[in-house]
Amino acid sequence: MMNRSAFCLFLILLLSGCSFLPTNIVNEIDMAQGVGYDLSDKTNIKGTIVFPIFKKDKTSTTEVRAAIGKSSKEIRSILNNETRYPLVSGQLRVALYGKNLAKKGINDFVDTLHRDPSIGSIVQMAIVDGNANELYKMKKYKNDNVSVHIQELLEQNMKMGLLPETNLQSFLFQFFQIGQDPYLPLIKKEAENIRITGLAIFKDDRYVTSIPMKDFFIFKALVDKNSLGLRQFILANRDKVVLETINSNAKYKVNIVHGRPEFTINLKLKTKLQEFAASEKERQAFDKKKYQKQVEQVLEKSALSMVSQFQKHRVDPLGLGAKYKEHFRGFNEKQWNEDYPNVKVHVNADVEIVQTGSID
């Protein structure tokens, strides 16, 4: 049974709660929710930070501050000298990088996020086709937190749309994995809106090329298991078919032919028909087998064209090298990098339309 002294000590600890832990008073800190980096000149970087300003009984606003320095730490130090309260990163939601900076490499800035224990691994990242600072300063989002808006824009398109899953954690995994290159959403300021315009593909930490939104459907099916998405297909005779993915699964097979790897990607899609419009005006029944075959051919052609683009730019976002390494102990990274632009890739699409909205 607990004696009186022990009980008193227990009671003191209980009542003191978290007082032994370092704490911050919420209204005495500035909580950075967005950061952005742009190339300022040959040797300097413009860093932008976004944080909300909360006022009692008033609508909150968004503060955007920028400074120029040679590193993210120097920029943070300069900005801390200008803010009323210390800047903290525990609520960071999104990190943006201007395209010109991304072409030179973003590893130093991503590494800063990675090493900060207060920052979660699911922070969203994106490349700005333009200037991150200008995007953050859009007047439209002065009272509607721009960082939250971008985070939610990206996440809802990953969950319900065609944008592949990405975040800080996935970028770091792809960056450090031998035989795969990272990818991030490409966004742009268009008029008074922020739009997703493509997918930025990296070589190591440098932006090299991009794919347009029309390729999102096939890319997501190749990299995300059970990906969802809606795509319109214009087929033979200008027939239009709109399919929604219910389930997807891509399996990669590696064979060694004459000492070199060859890849076969078997892609299975279960879909449901959302819209069908025949080019001919008269009413006609939906020929499921016919259109399944035509969609398969379109997907195979699109996938091979995309892979060819990746090989031309020597980038491997599909992780073919990593899959090759998994299956063969004799994997040599230097040799793989030399062989990659010329390796053969075959794609077999198997599309099943399981729901047509009519009685088959």
Banded pLDDT at 18 (limits 50, 70, 90): very low
Please name every residue paired with 348 in a beta bridge, in sequence order, or none if there are none.
266
Please name every residue paired with 62 in a beta bridge, in sequence order, or none if there are none.
52
Q: Given this model, what pLDDT does residue 355 score?
A: 77
Report how far residue 55's alpha carbon sits from residue 108's, in angstroms, rounded to the nearest whole number.
35
What pLDDT digit, counting tens, does each position of 151-168 carry?
999 999 999 889 999 999
The pLDDT of 82-110, averaged and rounded, is: 89
Nearest to 92 by CA among 67, 62, 125, 61: 125
Structure token pair of residue 150:
């971008």
Query: Is 70 exceeded by the pLDDT of residue 243?
Result: yes
Task: Yes or no: say if 227 and 322 are a contact pair by the CB < 8 Å rule.
Answer: no
Task: Yes or no: say if 198 and 210 are a contact pair by the CB < 8 Å rule.
Answer: yes
Q: What's the count of helices (H) and strands (E) in the chain, helices before strands?
A: 11, 14
Report how far residue 318's alpha carbon sits from residue 163's, in angstroms, rounded to the nearest whole number.
15
Q: Which residues contact 357 (CB under 8 A, 6 or more apart)?
A: 272, 273
Strand pairing category for 229-234 and 260-277: unpaired
What pLDDT digit, counting tens, does each position of 314-335 carry?
999 999 999 999 988 889 999 9
Lowest-pLDDT choice from 125-139, 193-207, 236-250: 236-250
Report how far residue 96's alpha carbon sits from residue 130's, in angstroms, rounded to the nearest whole number.
11
- The CA dihedral of 316, 322, 324, 325, to the nearest 10 degrees, is 140
- Any alpha helices (H) in the chain, and if so which ranges? 4-16, 72-80, 99-104, 107-115, 132-136, 146-159, 168-176, 216-223, 288-312, 320-327, 333-339
Write down the pTM of the prediction.
0.87
Structure token pair of residue 193:
């809106």
Q: Given this model, what pLDDT does residue 19 score?
A: 38
Nearest to 323 by CA among 264, 267, 269: 264
Residue 146: how many CA atoms within 13 Å on its side-chain side? 28
Query: Is 60 exceeded by the pLDDT of residue 289?
Result: yes
pLDDT: which is higher, 283 or 329: 329
Query: Is 50 exceeded by the pLDDT of residue 195?
Result: yes
Query: Is 80 exceeded by the pLDDT of residue 265?
Result: yes
Please name every residue paired with 267 in a beta bridge, in sequence order, or none if there are none.
250, 349
Q: Which domains does the chain have, with CATH numbers?
A: 27-212 (no CATH), 225-360 (3.30.300.210)
In a 10 Å sphere around its CB, with 0-12 CB exposed, 13-18 middle and 19+ buried, how is residue 21 labelled? exposed
Query: Is 50 exceeded by the pLDDT of residue 360?
Result: no
Report how far residue 213's alpha carbon sits from residue 16's, in angstroms, rounded to the nearest whole number.
55
Lowest-pLDDT choice from 88-92, 200-204, 294-298: 88-92
Nearest to 214 by CA among 83, 99, 305, 285: 305
Lowest-pLDDT choice from 11-20, 31-40, 124-133, 335-344: 11-20
Q: What is the CA radius of gyration of the chain?
A: 25
Element (H, E) at 118: none
What pLDDT digit, counting tens, does each position of 30-75 carry?
778 899 999 998 889 999 999 888 776 667 778 899 999 998 889 9
What are φ and ψ of residue 199, in 5° steps?
-125, 120
Task: Yes or no: say if 20 and 13 are a contact pair by the CB < 8 Å rule.
Answer: no
